[in-house]
Structure 1
Amino acid sequence: MSQSTLVREPATTPHPLRTTGRWALSILFGALFAYSGAVKLAGDPEQVEGFEELGWGQWFRYFIGAAEVAGGIGLLIPALAALAAAGLAVIMAGATFVHLLDEHPAYFALIPAVLGVVLVLMVRANWHRTPSAIRGAFRR
């Protein structure tokens, strides 16, 4: 079996509307997460207080902020978009659980949950653009 048969490429060129939609979502989510991460890194008092309440220390705020900025930028690079969306989806899954376990109303978990679902869909939509060497690492 040749190497080319192991990699499944799209059979046809995607519809222009799909391509436009994928780029629009990537730009929107890229800006959203880059901004969100920058706010965390800048030390917004609300963010500082929120991470203090979690009890994980400010190092975690810096880590999440840097990961969000990197993910936001990664969404704009076609070869990295699927991996960036996957990483951001993991962050949103964590945020969903934190909000569910927090004393705040459970509906606070709705926003990161919905963002996480959209990010998973973005992984699926952009996976074919990920370099084959990276895709191969995720095969069984």
Structure 2
Amino acid sequence: MTATHAPTAAAPTAGRRPAPRRVLWGAQILISAFLVFASGLPKLAGQADAVETFALLGWNDLMRYLVGAVEVAGAVGLVIPRLAGLAATGLIGLMIGAVLTQILVIEPAWALFPAALGAVFAVVAWDRRAQTRAQTRALLGALRR
């Protein structure tokens, strides 16, 4: 048997993602489902509690639609590998707004949930930073041409 045919220790794990990354993808999928079904679509469909919340804030329906659309778009981006880092970064901004809204207007105790989501988005953005950086460079290069 030659050295080129000798089995290596890395062969069984080739092509597999490390466990922390798989857990992170699992969290992204669950949060994405939450953002679409429990948060974004109710705003877009005009569910009564979503309408009441935005009325309490003094915001019109356009803002409700905008926030719902950002949540749905972010959720879709979270589950597309090429967009996950950028989507997570954008969703961090949305969660900062949600935390401030909860603290200043609605109920401060509820600010913990968007803060926790923001922390997960920060981990996703950090994990995907190299890929996001490369994509941003490629996009800027394409715009320069």
TM range (shorter): 0.7 to 0.9
Corresponding position of 2:88: 85
- Mapping 1:43-54, distance limit 5 Å: 43-54=46-57
Residue segments in structure 2 that go unaligned for 5+ positions in a row: 1-14, 141-145
Counterpart Cα distance in 1 of 2:99 and 2:137: 27
Deviations 1:68-105 (A, max 9, x none): 0000000011110011111111111001001110153x
Q: Are 1:78 and 1:130, in contact at CA under 8 Å, matched by a contact in 2?
A: no
Corresponding position of 1:112: 114
Corresponding position of 2:27: 25
Q: Cα offset for 1:18?
A: 2.2
Look up the equivalent residue of 2:86 and give its one-letter code.
L
Q: Cα offset for 1:25?
A: 1.4
Instruction: Tell me the secondary structure at the aligned position of residue 130 of structure 1.
Output: helix
Counterpart Cα distance in 2 of 1:126 and 1:14: 17
Look up the equivalent residue of 2:29 and give its one-letter code.
I
Correspondence for 1:63 among 47, 60, 66:
66
Corresponding position of 1:132: 134
Counterpart Cα distance in 1 of 2:82 and 2:126: 13
- CA RMSD in angstroms comes to 2.2
Counterpart Cα distance in 2 of 1:130 and 1:82: 6
Regions of 4+ moved over 3 Å: 135-138
* Shift in CA distance, 128/60, structure 1 to aligned 2, threshold 3 Å: same
Counterpart Cα distance in 2 of 1:19 and 1:33: 21
Residue segments in structure 1 that go unaligned for 5+ positions in a row: 1-12
Whose relative contact order is higher, 1 or 2, with alpha carbons under 8 Å and at least 6 apart? 1
**Corresponding position: 1:95 with 2:98:** yes
Counterpart Cα distance in 2 of 1:76 and 1:133: 16
Q: Which shows bigger deviation, 21-30 or 62-71? A: 21-30
Counterpart Cα distance in 1 of 2:43 and 2:97: 16
Q: Are 1:79 and 1:131, in contact at CA under 8 Å, matched by a contact in 2?
A: no
Q: Cα offset for 1:26?
A: 1.6
Q: Cα offset for 1:127?
A: 2.0
* Shift in CA distance, 92/103, structure 1 to aligned 2, threshold 3 Å: closer
Q: Percent of aligned positions with the same letter in both sequences?
A: 39
